[in-house]
């Protein structure tokens, strides 16, 4: 089993390397993950998404088989499937900027937030997956208008919000950071705490 710990600086599925900043230097996670995918290809498997992580593992009791060519779990009869890439990428985006722990064996890939790191938490608000933040938080945590502003902070008619957990918007902002087309340069380390009623 390989165990890795560091700060994840994921910029999007196509934007390689998938950087993990460790005490020993940067690690590119993509070749490690790809090797796991190749080894799991064609095997019965299951995956589980958590608010602070993701697990994909071989599972002889599963009805679904992992297909690396499309990065999906599919029933052999083709009647159902689950998009592994979508769930795994969401976990990578949500955990980008945070300290993470990764365990990879021949049969399991586990990506989880490092629970010892204390980070600011936000709640989904409104109808979408934006997370409202106060002006004070926008100034002190997001650092809006400052040189080290977080790429995910936005301002609109209803005030400030964090877009890190708004999947399509977050992927777009990370892609802009990778391409150097956004003024903000910092990936904030915030965590989502669920929906605020």
Number of independent structural domains in the chain: 2
Which of 97, 113, 129 is the endpoint of a domain? 113
Residues spanned by the domain of 127: 121-195
pLDDT of residue 98: 98
Query: Do residues 62 and 155 share a domain?
Result: no
Report how far apart the first and last C-alpha atoms of the chain are (Å, whole number).
41
User: φ, ψ for residue 72 (rounded to 5)?
Assistant: -130, 160
pLDDT of residue 144: 94
SS3 content of the chain, % helix, strand, coil (to 5): 20, 40, 40
Q: Which residues of 69-93 are buried (b: 16+ CB within 10 A; e: fewer)?
A: eebbbbeeeeeeeeebeebbbbbbb
∠ CA 4-5-9, rounded to 5°: 105
Query: Do residues 37 and 95 share a domain?
Result: yes
pLDDT of residue 78: 87
pLDDT of residue 84: 98
Which of 78, 113, 148 is the endpoint of a domain? 113
Query: Do residues 104 and 169 share a domain?
Result: no
pLDDT of residue 195: 86
Structure tokens at 131: 């997370």
Query: Do residues 144 and 181 share a domain?
Result: yes
pLDDT of residue 197: 63
Report DSSP state, residue 168.
Answer: H
Query: Do residues 12 and 101 share a domain?
Result: yes
133, β-bridge pairs: 160
Which of 61, 84, 113 is the endpoint of a domain? 113
Query: Do residues 127 and 106 share a domain?
Result: no
Query: Do residues 18 and 73 share a domain?
Result: yes
pLDDT per residue as tens, the chain (197 positions) = 999 999 999 999 999 999 999 999 999 999 999 999 999 999 999 999 999 999 999 999 999 999 999 999 999 998 999 999 999 999 999 999 999 999 999 999 999 999 999 999 999 987 678 999 999 999 999 999 999 999 999 998 889 999 999 999 999 999 999 999 999 999 999 999 988 76
């Amino acid at each position: 089993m390989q165990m890795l710990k560091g700060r994840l600086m994921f910029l999007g599925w196509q934007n390689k390397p998938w950087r993990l900043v460790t005490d020993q230097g940067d690690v590119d996670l993509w070749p490690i993950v790809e090797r796991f995918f190749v080894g799991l290809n064609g095997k019965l498997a299951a995956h589980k998404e958590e608010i602070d992580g993701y697990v994909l593992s071989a599972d002889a009791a599963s009805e679904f088989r992992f297909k690396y060519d499309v990065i999906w779990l599919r029933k052999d009869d083709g009647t159902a499937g689950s998009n592994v890439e979508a769930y795994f990428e969401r976990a990578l985006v949500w955990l980008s900027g945070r300290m993470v722990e990764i365990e990879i064996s021949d049969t399991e890939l586990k990506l989880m937030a490092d629970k010892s790191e204390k980070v600011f938490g936000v709640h989904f608000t409104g109808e979408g997956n934006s997370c409202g933040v106060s002006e004070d938080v926008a100034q002190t945590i997001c650092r809006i208008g400052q040189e080290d502003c977080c790429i995910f902070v936005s301002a609109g008619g209803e005030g400030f919000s964090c877009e890190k957990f708004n999947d399509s918007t977050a992927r777009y902002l990370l892609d802009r950071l990778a391409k150097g087309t956004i003024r903000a340069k910092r990936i904030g380390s915030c965590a989502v705490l669920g929906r605020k009623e």
